[in-house]
């Protein structure tokens, strides 16, 4: 797989504040790439620079083979962006909104009609076309935002916290469509999210903190590196658990031990086979990775 996004030594400061600090990473074509960080970590600044909305202080960005400094317009036609909050015209109908946005990419007339009906079917908003955007529910509006981003069949879809505040049904529709597009059109998805279960589905994750990369890797690599395994043992007394010498917590009808890795869990079981009658071993979660890497949790996107 080729690198569709290459960012090298990117820097951006606002006055004394260094928003992006020597940031370098690659995104492979067709992958789901998760870009994580608390609010103010530098995610939006990076995205704005990638979309040619903000100038950079230094560094290089190449997207689909085009240098951002030389071919910003070419890059813009490759990107579809779903912003954190909807930026459609509330006073206009869904149809009028999508018509004006499609025209920006030269999609007009019959081509537009064909495309809008494809998207309406895909994202299930055929019955919303004549409705005013300002009167739609949050979930309905999000579907229109996604449709807007997909109007020109972008090679890269940037999703900036796309599912925040959405109901489970809309989240399911959204991810269903995105998965389908990734399969059928090999679309690359660049995701920022506060939902770690979404990030755990990513092919590759970059966590940034204060504008710098704090950790990167596949979700499995990150879990293996930054969290231990959890061994949950049922029908055991606390004294026995205490004797294992690992950090533990009592849960409803069991004890959960934190062990360094799967190897340590296996050794523990082999040493104490009589105790391990009813148990399970689980990997740490992406929340634990994030907490371990940044020392902050992502509740609501703010530092906690």
Task: Summarize as ranges the residues that interact with another protein (CB under 8 A).
Answer: 51-55, 73-74, 76-77, 79, 81, 83, 85, 87-89, 91-92, 96, 99-101, 103-106, 108, 148
Q: Which residue has the tokens 């690359």?
A: 188
Phi, psi of 105 (to 5 degrees): -105, 15
Compute the least distance from the CB of residue 146 to another protein, in Å: 13
- How far apart are alpha carbons 229 and 22 in whole angstroms? 33
What backbone phi and psi angles, to 5 degrees, belong to 42?
120, 5
CB nearer another protein, residue 55 or residue 274: 55
Q: Write down the least CB distance from residue 145 to another protein, Å.
A: 9
User: Smallest distance, Å, CB 108 to another protein?
Assistant: 5
Cβ neighbours of residue 131 closer than 8 Å, sequence gap 6 or more: 93, 94, 140
Q: 96 or 287, CB closer to another protein?
A: 96
Angle at 303 between CA 259 and CA 6, to 5 degrees: 85
Q: Which is nearer to another protein, 49 or 174 (CB)?
A: 49
Q: Which is nearer to another protein, 81 or 191 (CB)?
A: 81
CB nearer another protein, residue 64 or residue 229: 64
> 67: which residues sit within 8 A by CB, 6+ positions away?
60, 61
Q: How far is the CB of 52 from another protein (least distance, A)?
A: 7
Rank residues 114 and 121 by Cβ distance to another protein and give the closer one. Answer: 114
User: What minimum distance in Å lies between the beta carbon of 83 and another protein?
Assistant: 7
The DSSP H or E segment spanning 189 is strand 188-192
**Smallest distance, Å, CB 47 to another protein?**
10
Token reading at 189: 């998805």
Q: H helices then E strands: how many in the chain?
A: 11, 14
In 3-state terms, what secondary structure has residue 187?
coil
């Amino acid at each position: 797989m080729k690198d569709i996004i290459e960012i090298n030594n990117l820097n951006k400061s606002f006055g004394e504040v260094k928003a992006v600090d020597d940031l370098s990473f690659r995104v492979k074509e067709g992958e789901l790439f998760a870009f994580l960080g608390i609010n103010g970590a530098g995610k939006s600044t990076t995205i704005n620079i990638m979309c040619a909305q903000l100038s950079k202080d230094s560094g290089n960005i190449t997207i689909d083979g085009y240098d951002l400094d030389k071919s910003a317009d070419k890059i813009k036609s490759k990107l579809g962006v779903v912003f954190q909050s909807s930026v459609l015209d509330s006073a206009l109908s869904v149809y009028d909104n999508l018509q004006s946005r499609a025209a920006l990419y030269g999609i007009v007339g019959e081509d537009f009609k064909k495309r809008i009906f494809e998207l309406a079917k895909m994202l299930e908003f055929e019955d919303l076309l004549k409705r005013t955007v300002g009167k739609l529910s949050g979930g309905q509006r999000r579907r229109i935002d996604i449709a807007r981003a997909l109007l020109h069949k972008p090679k890269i879809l940037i999703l900036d916290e796309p599912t925040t505040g959405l109901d489970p049904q809309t989240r399911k529709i959204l991810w269903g469509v995105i998965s389908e597009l990734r399969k059928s059109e090999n679309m690359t998805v660049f995701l920022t999210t506060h939902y770690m279960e979404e990030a755990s589905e990513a092919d590759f994750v970059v966590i940034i903190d204060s504008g710098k990369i704090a950790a990167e890797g596949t979700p499995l690599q990150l879990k293996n590196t930054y969290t231990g395994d959890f061994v949950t043992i049922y029908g055991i007394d606390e004294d026995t658990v205490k004797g294992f010498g690992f950090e533990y917590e009592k849960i409803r009808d069991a004890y959960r031990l934190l062990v360094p890795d799967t190897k340590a869990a296996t050794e523990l079981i082999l040493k104490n086979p009589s105790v391990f009658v009813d148990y399970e071993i689980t990997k740490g979660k992406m929340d634990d990775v994030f907490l371990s890497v940044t020392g902050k949790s992502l509740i609501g996107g703010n530092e906690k």
